Amino acid sequence: MRPTYAVINLSNLKKNYLNIRKKTKNVKIMAVVKADAYGHGMKETVKTLNSLKKNKPEYYAVATAEEGAELRSYRVKQPILIFEPFVVSQLPLLFKYDLIATVFSDFHLKILLKGKKDFLKLNYKIKVHVKVDTGMNRLGIHYDEAFTFIQYLSKKKDFLIDGIYTHFATSDERDKKFANLQLERFKKIINQLRNKKIPFGLAHAANSGAILDMPEAYLDMVRPGISLYGYCPSLQTSESIQLKPVMSVISHVASVKEINPGDSVSYGRKFTAEKKMKVVSVPIGYADGYNRLLTNKGKAIIRDKVYNQIGTVTMDRILFKVNNDKIEIGDKVILLGDSKHNKITAWDWANKLGTIPYEITCGISKRVPRIYKNNM
């Protein structure tokens, strides 16, 4: 096996999930496993969560119909919500794999009805969740029009409204003013529907930020994403749930060489030695998800000591200066993860890159083998 790999700690995944379950108490959980479970591996993630038996998620969610089909191939029996609206070419997947469509316009309904006709599902009610735009201004029907649309949809015999949902724009920020406004708008629609006795299934709004800080947004179901994998969605949320990173990225020293003062390393000569030192190469690069913008900024733990990355990050390899320390070929290199006295998290990478942990874990490419570990 390649000497660079990602270790996925399934024990931490279970602990994170159960801590979320404990905080949200009696509401249902829709586990978000899109983008190959944020880079952690969808198959092992759902297998692990479903091993929790009575505590397993009531729903799963993914971004695309293709991801939904993949999820079904792992024998997932729970309802699966597809966040992206369906297009005509994806309709066979909807009906074959019993996926739940997101809708928010008459255009979507016409597409789905066409699929029903083509697949001769005459007595089949198409399950849908209506997405309400309460301020994200990305996808969804405007909150002022949502009640009328849901009322109209509820009268169509070909559809079953299994749920309605919205998505917060700022639940991961310290100032929750806008998130609270979004919640107020959404709850108003829920109350209108209840008053008119219009069935709408499950109402859900709380993403990871709201799960941490907005218990009033739990409603019927919550949608943990990045929190499942051990990270708060930003540094502005509380840490009201104990979370442990699930992914570590490990490599090994491939070579050790000595360079002299004035010697430069890697493309473009972005680092020049000021004194005699040892340089080690490590077989990971931007093709693996180690971003080129980490050039001269990255760090690694070798033998429980932190070392600086030097020189331009290349497609397959990076370099570290290790001074004159005793480092040997084959020594373990921790790029994400912890040792006895030190740790490097996705936040450390993200802060240097001006991004968030989501992008870090999703960006670890398929070229990096995943090794699954379970200590529970």
Active site residues: 34, 267
DSSP sequence for 35-61: HHHHTT-HHHHHHHHHTTGGGS-SEEE
Distance separating alpha carbons of residues 33 and 353, to the nearest angstrom? 24
Nearest 5°: CA angle at 200, between 25 and 88?
110
Q: In 3-state terms, the chain is what percent helix, strand and coil (to 5)?
A: 35, 25, 40
* Torsion sign across C-alpha atoms 200, 31, 134, 183: positive
* Torsion sign across C-alpha atoms 228, 229, 231, 233: negative
Distance separating alpha carbons of residues 116 and 120, to the nearest angstrom? 6
- What lies within 8 Å, CB to CB, of 307 at 6+ separation is 299, 300, 301, 320, 321, 322
Relative to beta strand 264-265, strand 343-344 is unpaired
Distance separating alpha carbons of residues 46 and 73, to the nearest angstrom? 11
DSSP sequence for 130-170: EEEESS--SSSEEHHHHHHHHHHHHT-TTEEEEEEE---SS
